[in-house]
Amino acid sequence: MARGNTRQRIQDVALELFAEQGYEKTSLREIAEVLDVTKAALYYHFKTKEDILISLFQDLTRPMDELIEWGRTQPHTLETKQEILRRYSETLVAASPLFRFMQENQAAMRDLSIGETFKDRMMRMLELIKEPEAALADQVRCISALFTMHAGMFVLRDMEADPEDKRQAVLEVAIDLVSQAHHVTH
Amino acid sequence: MARGNTRQRIQDVALELFAEQGYEKTSLREIAEVLDVTKAALYYHFKTKEDILISLFQDLTRPMDELIEWGRTQPHTLETKQEILRRYSETLVAASPLFRFMQENQAAMRDLSIGETFKDRMMRMLELIKEPEAALADQVRCISALFTMHAGMFVLRDMEADPEDKRQAVLEVAIDLVSQAHHVTH
Amino acid sequence: MARGNTRQRIQDVALELFAEQGYEKTSLREIAEVLDVTKAALYYHFKTKEDILISLFQDLTRPMDELIEWGRTQPHTLETKQEILRRYSETLVAASPLFRFMQENQAAMRDLSIGETFKDRMMRMLELIKEPEAALADQVRCISALFTMHAGMFVLRDMEADPEDKRQAVLEVAIDLVSQAHHVTH
Amino acid sequence: MARGNTRQRIQDVALELFAEQGYEKTSLREIAEVLDVTKAALYYHFKTKEDILISLFQDLTRPMDELIEWGRTQPHTLETKQEILRRYSETLVAASPLFRFMQENQAAMRDLSIGETFKDRMMRMLELIKEPEAALADQVRCISALFTMHAGMFVLRDMEADPEDKRQAVLEVAIDLVSQAHHVTH
DNA sequence: CATGAATGAGTGTTCATTCAT
DNA sequence: GATGAATGAACACTCATTCAT
């Protein structure tokens, strides 16, 4: 029953609770109770509460980093941008609880050292997607595209529709926005 | 010394701190300290911590309610939708700290009774802006328009540009999105 | 509406709430709310919370004091004792909320300066009722008689019976106890 | 230093303080100070303040429950009733601080969920002791017998006499009362 | 690997009381 | 006679964290 997977189970439960209730409102006691271990056990696997969050980040943002790295090697064409969005969309599906969490806990994360980390990443994504000297409105379009993809999923959760259809719709809008921004500039 | 403005001052400080640090991480002690009164004084003016938040909401969402009411009396034309966005943009400027707060504290607010209240309002805004039987992508466009307006301001804070210019750019993108969604349907 | 009877109304409400919830658990805020005045208003009429309680005592124990005074002037016969109990029974009916309060809040009153006052009175009642050199069991009988009268009313509250019948039954038992104690001694 | 007896020590100190000062007026800080631990330590052993009280109850009312159970299996004779009172008297000696506490904190306990529990138990004791269709006065006698036993000890505390003698005197009066109630009915 | 026991700092909240008006 | 505004001290309770075993 108690295999060496405890660390993983802590991460799973923590992510679920963090996403559902927020980071601040989720106590280690609660996590421990769900896992049916003591709080002290958590401290065997993680140095602090924040450490659990950091570990979630590291596991889940790797795909995002890889995508950014890939994007950097590509030419700045519209096709590349579209492909980046497509890949990003798939990344988001896989890591959706984390992104939901980040979307909804921005304030809580501000001083968590990770905040900057994530903002940085967003900025680098933005660099890949927008033209260097884009007009203000086009910059907004690119930001909006990213935001739309982040928020899209859970805002649409109430809506009755096939999840994959929703994802495609969100992706379509994002690609549209970036395309307009690209087109206008050239 | 003790003028009748204490209640107002509490609201001001609370909003500032809530927006900056998040609701959970802002303690009443902190608010009281900034105001140089005791915690108990806060309780003379507000029944609970949540009550302070609620009062902020009520003061700041009134313009939004009035806008929704006005929208309901208008014909569902593109011009109306654009005018709604224009007015909404102005509303948001006035209440921007509150909207920043809401944007960044969604998790914290989930069970705060107000969450639903606000979600409702967003849904009603959405009804004014989207066509009843719009395609999925067009619905996303309308949602994205609202989100863009909410988030736009503080996401752009780092960017060096005239605030009014930024607002106009955000508004332009939002109007674009809604126009596309409108156009497609007809 | 607001006549000079506020002091009286405070006493009435306070007694009711003290009896119902206990002294400690009844706050001045609560009393003030029931009366629809501010807490500060209570302080116009009474120096402290304890003062309210003291005033209730003074108003309601006067009959008891008079009874004790009368008893002192009478011969120590069984008839006198029985008459004392009869009169005491009537006194108790009139002041029943206060006695219920005292019965149920002994701990709370211990250090309230009044505790002693009341214990004293009980002792003086006891002197009137028991023989000076009574056997231990007879002393217990007399104490039991007083206790029975105090507690009788509210313990019997659930029981379906005419209140006056209950009072008579309680009185009968008390008289019996004291009579036995009297008889045994002589 | 930290042996496994902390829980027990908390109960001991709590009972002593509750009995002495009342439940409401005894703070967890005070209990913790006497034990020379932090308040938080109390919360490791008990979920709430009320929980401490409940645990005291459960430990101390078990003998009473056993007595009631035993009484149920016996014939409803006068001898049985007398034996019940005798056993009850011994039970009370062992748990006297708790009973003193209950006697003096009735108001405080009213809404403590345990109030009813205890009232129930008293009622079941009463059933064992009184005749089913007893006259009102005889019912009062039985109630009075129980009350006398409860209150007897601490009311007599001031009186200079051997504790065991006092207990016997109280028991004698209680048996007398129940006997009279029994006799009258048959 | 994990627990039992505990801590120190903090939380939101309530209270009796005061006092200028 | 009474209020509005505030205080200081306390309260029950929770939290992340530690450490010997």
Cα within 13 Å of Cα(B111), Cβ side: 5
| C-alpha Rg value of chain C to the nearest Å | 18
Provide the pLDDT for residue D141: 95
For residue B42, the model assigns a pLDDT of 97
pLDDT at res. A2 = 45
- D22-61 in b/e form (b: 16+ CB < 10 A) is bbbbbebeebbeebebeeeebeebbeebeebbbbbbeebb
pLDDT digits (tens, 9 = 90+) for C63-108: 989 999 999 999 999 999 999 999 999 999 888 888 888 888 888 7
**pLDDT of amino acid A183:** 64
User: So what's the pLDDT on residue A115?
Assistant: 67
Q: Measured between alpha carbons, how far is B62 from C100 in angstroms, rounded to an integer?
A: 52
Q: Where are the alpha helices (DSSP H) in chain A?
A: 6-21, 28-35, 39-45, 49-73, 78-94, 96-104, 106-109, 114-129, 136-155, 163-185
Contacts of A159 in chain B (CB under 8 A): 139
Q: Touching D: which chains, 3+ CB pairs < 8 A? A: C
pLDDT band at D186 (very low <50, low <70, confident <90, very high): very low
Q: How far apart are CA D69 and CA A177, in angstroms?
A: 79
Instruction: Nearest by CB to C137, from D23, D141, D169: name it.
Output: D169
Please say if the pLDDT value at position A121 is more than 80.
Answer: yes
Closest CA to C13 of A146, D127, C24, C27: C27
Reported as a single tens digit per residue, the pLDDT across A28-83 is 999 999 999 999 999 999 999 999 998 988 887 888 889 999 999 999 999 999 99
Mean pLDDT of chain D: 89
pLDDT of residue C71: 96
pLDDT-based confidence at A184, cuts 50/70/90? very low
Looking at residue A185, its pLDDT comes to 45
Number of H helices, E strands in chain D: 10, 0
Amino acid sitting at position C147: F
What is the band of D131 on the pLDDT scale with cuts at 50, 70, 90? very high
**Token pair listed for A129:** 């997607």
Instruction: Note whether C140 contacts D159, CB cutoff 8 Å.
Output: no
pLDDT in tens, C25-52: 999 999 999 999 999 999 999 999 999 9
The pLDDT score that the predictor gives to residue D161 is: 87
Q: What is the distance between the alpha carbons of residues D143 and A85, in angstroms, rounded to a whole number?
A: 82
D96, pLDDT greater than 90: no
Report which residue type is found at A85.
Answer: L
Q: CA nearest B18 in A: which residue?
A: A107
Q: Which chains does A contact via 3+ CB–CB distances below 8 A?
A: B
User: Rounded distance, CA B128 to CA B72, Å?
Assistant: 7
CB-based contact D17:D38 (threshold 8 Å)? no
Q: Report which residue type is found at D97.
A: P
Identify the three-state secondary structure at position A128. Answer: helix
pLDDT at D41 over 60: yes
Strand F proximal residues, C:4-43, Cβ < 7 Å = 4, 6, 37-41, 43
C91 touches chain D (CB under 8 A): no
C positions 103-142 inside 8 Å of D (CB): 103-108, 110-111, 135-137, 139-141
For C111, the closest chain D residue by CA position comes to D21
Q: What tokens does B129 get?
A: 């802006």
Chain CA centroid to CA A129, Å: 17
Least confident of A2-6, B165-169, C16-20, D149-153: A2-6
**pLDDT score, position D57:** 87
CA distance C14 to C7: 11
Specify the residue for token string 């309610």: B65
Q: Out of D24, D107, D159, name the one closest to residue C104 (CB).
A: D107
Contact A168, A85 (CB under 8 A): no
Contacts of D95 (CB under 8 A, 6+ apart): D60, D61, D63, D64
Our CA-based measurement puts residue B140 at a distance from the nearest CA of chain A, in whole angstroms, of: 6
| pTM listed for this prediction | 0.88
Q: Report which of residues C160 and D4 the model is more confident about.
A: C160
How far apart are the CA of B124 and the nearest CA of chain A, in angstroms? 14
Chain E positions within 7 A of any protein Cβ atom are 1-20
CA of D9 to C1' of E2 (A): 27
Nucleotide nearest to B25 (CA to C1'): E11
- What burial class does residue B173 get, using C-beta atoms within 10 Å of its C-beta: 0-12 exposed, 13-18 middle, 19+ buried? buried
Question: What whole-number percentage of chain B has pLDDT above 90?
Answer: 60
Query: CB of A123 within 8 A of CB of A115?
Result: no
What is the length of chain B?
Answer: 186
* C8-13 average pLDDT score: 96
pLDDT in the model for residue D3: 53
Phi and psi, residue D128, nearest 5°: -70, -25
Q: Which residues in chain A have their CB less than 8 angstroms from residue B177's CB?
A: 144, 173, 177
Give C3 to chain D, closest Cα distance, Å.
33
Nearest to C141 by CA among C154, C130, C127, C156: C130
User: Residue B22, by phi and psi: left (phi above 0), alpha (psi -120 to 50) or beta?
Assistant: left
Under an 8 A CB cutoff, do A139 and B148 touch? Answer: no
The answer to whether C179 contacts chain D (CB < 8 Å) is no
User: Which nucleotide is the nearest neighbour of B1, by CA and C1'?
Assistant: F5
More confidently predicted of C119 and A171: A171
* Residue D17: CA count within 13 A, CB half-sphere: 22
- For residue B100, what pLDDT is reported? 84
Q: Is the pLDDT of residue A144 over 90?
A: yes
Rounded CA–C1' distance between C83 and F19, in angstroms: 72
Closest approach of chain B CAs to the CA of A2, in angstroms? 32
Say which residue, D153 or B37, is predicted with more confidence: B37
CA–CA dist D163, B153 (Å, integer):
81
Summarised one tens digit per residue, pLDDT across range B59-104 is 888 898 999 999 999 999 999 999 999 999 999 888 888 888 888 8
Reported as a single tens digit per residue, the pLDDT across B116-154 is 677 788 889 999 999 988 999 999 999 999 989 988 777
Question: Which chain A residues touch B130 with a CB distance below 8 Å?
Answer: none
Cα C62 to Cα C65: distance, rounded to the nearest angstrom? 5
How far apart, in whole angstroms, are the C-alpha atoms of residue A92 and residue A60? Answer: 10
- What span, in angstroms and rounded, lies between the C-alpha atoms of A181 and B103? 25
Give tens-digit pLDDT for B101-112.
Answer: 888 888 778 777
Question: Is the Cβ pair A107, B110 closer than 8 Å?
Answer: no
Query: Does the CB of C143 fall within 7 Å of any strand F atom?
Result: no
Task: Determine, for residues B141 and A173 on separate chains, whether the beta-carbon distance falls below 8 Å.
Answer: yes
With a cut of 70, say whether residue B177 has pLDDT above it.
yes
pLDDT (tens digit, 9 = 90+) per residue, C109-127? 877 777 677 778 888 999 9
Nearest protein residue to the C1' atom of F20, measured from CA = D2
Q: Which residues of A touch B107 (CB under 8 A)?
A: 19, 21-23, 25, 101, 104-105, 108
Q: What is the mean pLDDT of chain C?
A: 89
Calculate how close chain C gets to D186, using CA atoms only, in Å: 18
- What share of chain D has pLDDT > 70, as a percent? 95
| Mean local confidence (pLDDT), D67-96 | 93
Q: What percentage of chain C reaches a pLDDT higher than 90?
A: 60
Q: Identity (one letter) of the amino acid at C18?
A: F
